Amino acid sequence: MTPLFVSADEVARLLPYSECVPLMREAMIALSDGRTRQLLRSILDLPEGRAFGVMPGAMLDDGVFGAKLVSVYPDNFLAGGPSHQGVVVLFDPATGAPSAILDAGEITAIRTAAASAAATAALARKDASRLAILGYGEQARRHVAAIRCVRTIERVTIWGRDFAKAQAFGGIPCESAEEAVAGADIICTVTAASEPILESRWVEDGAHINAVGSSRAGPAEIDNALVARARFFADHREGVLAQGSEFIRARDAGLIGDDHLLGEIGEVFAGRVEGRRSDADVTLYKSLGSIVQDLAAARHIVGKLRAG
């Protein structure tokens, strides 16, 4: 079998947010149901703050399995290039042969924002209309587009360390993170910060937070007080307990125990775990990213291509 090669442009064309958001919902339900298999991501640190990640997994409903191989070069962003590059490789469940190789950067960009949008649909207040984005990189742009699919957004505020870049992004640029999140109903942290840039005292009751930027133990975007205050949900329980930096820091500080993680987002989607209980709750979705999200997206794209 000759593998099918799928470019970034084809991924973007075949995976619109309107299709990817429900795909992520179903993938996360399958993960929480035990209808998938995945290992914790393996990250090889490289010089100059770079990294190489490997994420293997399988979808048990139809036997599709594969892996994502991705490099992380944060300095590329400064030069106008992508920070994440790599491939998602699918294997044929009948023969075990590689069946498709897809651009991982575009899949990751779309599915990460779509997963946050699915979580926002489940956890944010129904009337949420004010969106704050902390960060101005690719995921910032993606999250604005994806979240507009699940809520009517009337105001977007942007903060980043370089105010000129925040101004160039669009929306309402802010000179501080505190200013950006004032009055926000939905907050997305999509930075490369090593230390918290969002403090609990700035966040109003009723807000929903998507914590996305840190995907490994170490860097943290959110302070311990906010973690302890929020109704906390994970994309994958095992992953967040082992690699969710914000949760680990608050636990190590003695502010929470493992039971503070109320459930996986897939359990919320399936109605087995209660999400938001009142308009005053602060809810928090911790996104590390999951290979089953990549596999679900890749399978969808390949299916559309082969269907003609």
pLDDT, residue 11, reads 98
Q: Quote the mean pLDDT of the chain.
A: 95
Q: Rounded to two decimals, what is the model's pTM?
A: 0.94
Q: Which residues pair with 246 in a beta bridge?
A: none
pLDDT, residue 191, reads 94
Q: Give percent of the chain with pLDDT exceeding 70.
A: 100
Residue 242's alpha-carbon distances to 48, 152, 216, 271, in angstroms, are: 24, 35, 9, 25
DSSP letter assigned to residue 48: G
Q: What is the pLDDT of residues 147-187, one digit of tens each?
A: 999 999 999 999 999 999 999 998 999 999 999 999 999 99
Residue 153's alpha-carbon distances to 50, 62, 102, 167, in angstroms, are: 35, 37, 32, 19
> Helix 17-33 crosses helix 138-147 at what angle (to 10 degrees)?
90
Q: Is the pLDDT of residue 211 over 90?
A: yes
Q: What is the pLDDT of residues 139-158, one digit of tens each?
A: 999 999 999 999 999 999 99
Over residues 62-72, the mean pLDDT reads 95
Which of these, 214, 285, 283, 217, lies nearest to 252 by C-alpha position?
Answer: 217
Range from 119-123, 192-196, 220-224 carrying the lowest mean pLDDT: 192-196
Range from 26-40, 212-226, 271-285 carrying the lowest mean pLDDT: 212-226
The SS3 call for residue 280 is coil
Residue 46 binned pLDDT confidence (cut-offs 50, 70, 90): very high
- How far apart CA 158 and CA 140 sit, in angstroms, is 9
- In single-letter form, the type of residue at position 235 comes to D
User: Where do the H-state alpha helices sit in the chain?
Assistant: 8-14, 17-33, 104-123, 138-147, 163-169, 177-181, 224-229, 237-243, 245-252, 265-269, 291-307
Residue 70 binned pLDDT confidence (cut-offs 50, 70, 90): very high
Could you write out the three-class secondary structure of 138-204?
HHHHHHHHHHCCCCCCCEEEEECCCHHHHHHHCCEECCCHHHHHCCCCEEEECCCCCCCCECHHHCC
Query: In order of start, what are the domains of the chain with their CATH numbers?
Result: 4-108+291-307 (3.30.1780.10), 114-286 (3.40.50.720)
Q: Is the pLDDT of residue 223 over 80?
A: yes
Q: What is the dihedral of CA 20, 271, 291, 15, to 10 degrees?
A: 0
